[in-house]
Amino acid sequence: MATPKYHGTNTSVWIPLDKDNEDQEIRYGRRGGFLADGEAHYGYEKILPSFDWDALRAGWAHRDDLEAVVVYGELYGGAYPHPDVPATSSARVQPGVYYSPHLRFIAFDVALKAKDGSKTFLSVYDTAWVLGRCKIPYVKIVYKGLKDDVIDWATTHAGDDPMCWLEDGHPDKNLPPLEDNIGEGFVVRPVQNRYDRFGNRCMLKVKSPRFAEIKTVKVPKKPKEYFKEKPGAITAQTYLNAARCGSVCSKFPQEEVTLKNMKALGMALVNDALKDVPSDDPAHTTGRPEAKTFRAVAFQEMAAYLRDL
């Protein structure tokens, strides 16, 4: 089945269940861990506490083996550049896709964290049922079928306007359309969770070409100024782009996504991209011209991305 992939920032909600622990306070997190008190994270404190998380707690309160229920989702929205739509005070979460002038939250996973450290994810249908009962927004299934059919469908529709997947009654359903508003893509996964031999859940992200973190580059046609005559240019063009910059920045606290933190962000981009670069590529070897080009272009791409925010 396929569910829309939202272009925002990963945000989680930790709902404690352990009766032996006096601290039963609900905590919020980003990809890198829990949010500290007063930490800026796109205004999460304005909307997340309004949801009925205690209803989720009540559903598993009888389970003595559980430590917490964890809801994983995405903060998104905050901008909708249409002349007929008034701007709001919300912070824009991510550039490139527009969903709403308001900050929104959408959940995509629910996990049960046991006291022994293990974690069990609910199936897609169970997640939808639980979150629906608690009136917490969750990603909707937009296509079902055999695996190859779903992948083909997701590939065909990955660039569709994301607003077309909103259900009737959604507060943003009737916003006027924007030109060239292309969605990020879809997540394809089985009805029941399946795992590979390493314990990872089986799922596939099908992204529209605009948001692909790996580009197809045969020959550099009109490369950027720095690429000219530089060894490793094609590798850099293939793995370093704005989409990957956005993904890397989403793992940092909001206040750290600035040019002042360029060194940390640039190196994070280098390390993230090198995970996808074949291990025998010279870009991995410190001191090689290809590696120097890769790092220089990574910093160039990150700086350009930050200036556009």
Q: What is the pLDDT of residues 77-119, one digit of tens each?
A: 999 999 999 999 888 898 889 999 999 999 999 999 999 999 9
What's the pTM value of the predicted model, to 2 decimals? 0.80
Domains, the chain, ordered by start: 2-208 (3.30.470.30), 212-308 (no CATH)
Q: What is the pLDDT of residues 2-45, one digit of tens each?
A: 999 999 999 999 999 976 676 788 999 998 789 988 888 999 99
- What's the pLDDT score for residue 224? 52
DSSP string, the chain: -EEEPP-SEEEEEEEE--TT-S----EEEETTEEPPTT--STTGGGTGGGS-HHHHHHHTTT-TTEEEEEEEEEEEEEE---TTS---SPPP--SS---EEEEEEEEEEEEEEETTS-EEEPPHHHHHHHHHHTT--BPPP-B-S-HHHHHHHHHHHTTS-GGGGPPTT-TTTTSPP-TT----EEEE--SS--B-TTS-B--EEEE-GGG-SS---SS-SS--GGGTT-TTHHHHHHH-SHHHHHHHHTTS-GGG-SGGGHHHHHHHHHHHHHTTS-TTSGGGSTTSHHHHHHHHHHHHHHHHHHHH-
